[in-house]
Structure 1
Amino acid sequence: MTQTFVHWPFRSDEVRPLVPDGLILDEYDGAAWVSFTPFVMTDVRPFAVPAVVPGLPAFPETNLRTYVRSRDGRPGIWFLSLEVRCPLMLAARAVGVPYHPGTLTVSRRENQVRYVGSRWGGGPSYEMTVRPGEPISPAERDEWLTSRWRAYTQRLGIIWETPVEHEPWPLRGAVIVDLRETVTAAAGLPRPHAEPLVHFSEGVLRVRFGVSRPVRRAA
């Protein structure tokens, strides 16, 4: 699964209205972070399916996410929007994952990677080209932004937790060559106040999603 991470810091009051009351907005250095992450998913399967069984065919996906904790302190991701080309992934709407079918492409040419996507029926779209750099040794902030092992969603007023399992991302620096997107504005965010932090990864070998469960309320 190759992936690019574009991370922007926002003021907490700009992001808090987009996160349900049952979750705590996670911050780093006094900022709430939002990440735009286009990628290609390969070999995806549920936890119960053994590695010898082929996963889903490779498909592009793009999410806009922020960082949260449950009331008992378990860190995770809250998706603000999620575009996908694989119709099978739309089944995750059953637990509140905000998937939208779209036309997405990822292409590579020489030392650049280009991502293009648009939601079916109109709505947000993006075009981005990045130039991957050299491998990096992740600092604390890099790991905070990329090493999250659960996703939170909401359905029928209930917060759900879905575990995610894969190896840590092998990260590289990256430079944005061009970026045009309406995804952040469509999610209800203002224009970013600062230049983004950008990571690129050639990916991990296997990704597994666990069974979604309701989150218990803290006492």
Structure 2
Amino acid sequence: MRHAATQPFAPEPVTSDAPDLPGPVMLNQSWLDLTFLHWAVDPQEVAHRMPPGVRPDTLDGVTYVGLIPFRTVGSGLSRGPAVPWFGSFLETNVRLYSVDETGRRGIVFLSLDADRAAVVAGARTAFGLPYRLARMRYQASGDVHTYDARLRRPGARTESRILVRAGARREPTELDLFLSARWGLHVRHWGRTLYIPNRHEPWPVHDAEVLTLDDDLLASVGLPDLAARRPDHVAFSPGVHTEFGFPGHAASPQPRGR
């Protein structure tokens, strides 16, 4: 494990009430028609995937791996309008749940697959995020949502097909909040661990049933066994609008709102 020897802070409370951003808005976008699929794992299985100064966040002794397909719509700089064509795209990410030495909870991405080459190149260069270019398709037929992805790269064929049936809205459970009320991400870039804050309204959470799960994306980031078993957490959300702040060093706590 590559964690620093300093004494970590106690994790911040889990709350659906987003803190104010510590500075100006960097960009805004909407995340729509999102499905949460999660598998519980031993924290030691993924601790080595965390950036320095960050460790797996846990609930009842376990942490989670997420496979999350959705639509990004209307991305714009600051609070401005959407960038034409480039501002909307499909995405599927594989992610872990993190807490840094200041106690801030966040997300660590193992992969982010998207169908816009400019988005992939820009996010990799600017922030070191592990974006990959993919051919993707999303369809909705009534309450059934279908997400298809195939990585655009030479070598082995890497595909994902997910079908879920969305159900009634529910009150968020403790696990729903632990997985969805995340107000930043941790990433290693240019020799530093960065924390990129975001804020949005509470996720509207719906019941969901997995109809099809045929996925290679988890295996492509070194987690080959997860897709062979049923997810431990499944939910659907029609989406939220989010704003991102500018990156800060993960070891420097930012002032929080309220």
- Whole-Å separation in 1 of the counterparts to 2:230 and 2:237: 23
Match for residue 66 of structure 2?
A: 35
**Which one is further off, 107-116 or 129-138?**
107-116
- Whole-Å separation in 1 of the counterparts to 2:247 and 2:117: 19
Answering whether residue 187 of structure 2 is matched by residue 157 of structure 1, we say no
How many residue pairs align between the two structures?
214
In structure 2, do the counterparts of structure 1 residues 125 and 215 end up closer, same or farther at CA, with 3 Å as the change threshold?
same
Match for residue 121 of structure 1?
A: 153
In structure 2, do the counterparts of structure 1 residues 153 and 11 end up closer, same or farther at CA, with 3 Å as the change threshold?
same
| Residues 196-207 of structure 1 aligned to structure 2 (within 5 Å) | 196-204=232-240, 206-207=241-242
Q: Secondary structure at the match of 1:29?
A: coil
Match for residue 78 of structure 1?
A: 108
The one-letter amino acid paired with 2:198 is V
| Residues 101-140 of structure 1 aligned to structure 2 (within 5 Å) | 101-122=133-154, 124-140=158-174
- Whole-Å separation in 2 of the counterparts to 1:38 and 1:142: 16
The one-letter amino acid paired with 2:123 is A
The one-letter amino acid paired with 2:93 is N
Q: Secondary structure at the match of 2:235?
A: strand
Show CA shifts across 1:100-152 (max 9, x none).
11111110113210000011114532001000011000021111111111011
Show CA shifts across 1:184-206 (max 9, x none).
122112413664310101112x2
For structure 1, list consecutive stretches of 5 or more residues without a partner in the other structure: none
TM-score (norm 1): 0.91
Answering whether residue 131 of structure 2 is matched by residue 99 of structure 1, we say yes
**What is the RMSD computed on CA atoms of the aligned residues?**
1.8
For structure 2, list consecutive stretches of 5 or more residues without a partner in the other structure: 1-31, 254-258
- Whole-Å separation in 2 of the counterparts to 1:194 and 1:21: 31
The answer on whether the counterparts of 1:44 and 1:208 sit within 8 Å (CA) in structure 2 is no
TM superposition shift of 1:42: 1.1
TM-score (norm 2): 0.77
Rg larger in structure: 2
The one-letter amino acid paired with 1:59 is F
The one-letter amino acid paired with 1:178 is T
- Whole-Å separation in 2 of the counterparts to 1:124 and 1:81: 13
Runs of 4+ that moved beyond 3 A: 54-57
TM superposition shift of 1:89: 2.0
Answering whether residue 37 of structure 2 is matched by residue 6 of structure 1, we say yes
The answer on whether the counterparts of 2:50 and 2:108 sit within 8 Å (CA) in structure 1 is yes
- Whole-Å separation in 1 of the counterparts to 2:76 and 2:163: 29
